[in-house]
Amino acid sequence: MLHTIRHGSDTARPPLLIVPGLFGSARNWGVVAKHLSSDRLVIAVDQRNHGDSFRSDDHSYPAMADDLAEVIEAEGRPLDVLGHSMGGKAVMMLALTRPELVHRLIVADIAPVTYPHTGTNEALIAAMKALKIDDLTTRGEADRRLAPGVPDPATRAFLLQSLELRDGPVHWKLNLDALQGNMGRIVGWPDPLPAGARPFTGPTLFLYGGTSRYLRPDYRPAIEALFPKAEYEGIAGAGHWLHAEKPRETEAAIEAFLSR
């Protein structure tokens, strides 16, 4: 089963499952998860090929949805489910194929569409694979070495959260080969959908960064064909990484939707 980090205690409110995006982990959502756990259990996962979860050559959305179904089934009741970016596509697939497991759905800054294959993610993977790590002792030195391949400091800081410096030999807590080999699937969306998939008719919030281009207005017909109760809310001043750029505003929007 996927590796999980639990925050708070079980209450009468449904637990919230948080599913990170590409290169992300349960730890990346730690502060947001802790704040949201004041009156409910919050469970954040490492997706397959990320963090402390298992490795697999299959990084398809049906496979990721099955992973999430296993986590929810272990809890013994439907959960509220939140997914960001790649995690948003995984939770959409879960809701379309196993709707009985999803109480309410929040999709953060992604749509059920295929995105242009720009090569940006492949360039990040190439930079991580090229990084000389065997003699690293500090994250500062790792940051210096990664800078030529990843010029943006915020992106480097995010990626380096998945570089393990303490537990045994220095290593990436990402299956870079599998992610590289599955990038077409990751930026894509299954067409046709798996057999048995059907529109999810439960409450659904599409949360997006106000300056992001991942949830464009012209994607709404595709969203509403699959999620007829879709609502939309933008976080002003936030880009794609809305939970990192505007965490308090993102938390407030999540809590308001789940408290209805």
In sequence order, the 6+-apart residues with CB closer than 8 A to the CB of 232 are 205, 206, 207, 208, 215, 220
Q: C-alpha distances in angstroms, 239 versus 60, 110, 175, 212, 247?
A: 25, 12, 26, 4, 12
Q: Out of 35, 59, 103, 240, which one is annotated catalytic?
A: 240
Q: Are 14 and 77 in contact (CB under 8 A)?
A: yes
Q: How far is residue 92 CA from its own chain's centroid?
A: 11
Tell which residue, 233, 174, 222, has the closest CA to residue 199.
222
Which residues, 6 or more positions from 115, have their beta carbon under 8 angstroms from its beta carbon?
Answer: 187, 188, 214
Cα 21 from Cα 24, distance rounded (Å): 5
Tokens of 242: 């809305």
Q: What distance in Å separates the CA atoms of residue 185 and residue 170, rounded to the nearest whole number? A: 29
Query: Catalytic residue at 177?
Result: yes
Give me the residue label for tokens 């996927």.
2
* Cα separation, 182 vs 178, whole angstroms: 6
CA–CA separation, 161 and 172 (whole Å): 9
85 is catalytic: yes
- 99 contacts 202 by C-beta, under 8 angstroms: yes
Pick the catalytic residue: 85, 109, 162, 212?
85
Which residue in 39, 57, 152, 177 is the catalytic one?
177
Is 212 among the residues known to form the active site? no
Q: How far apart are CA 202 and CA 104, in angstroms?
A: 6
- Residues recognised as catalytic: 85, 177, 240
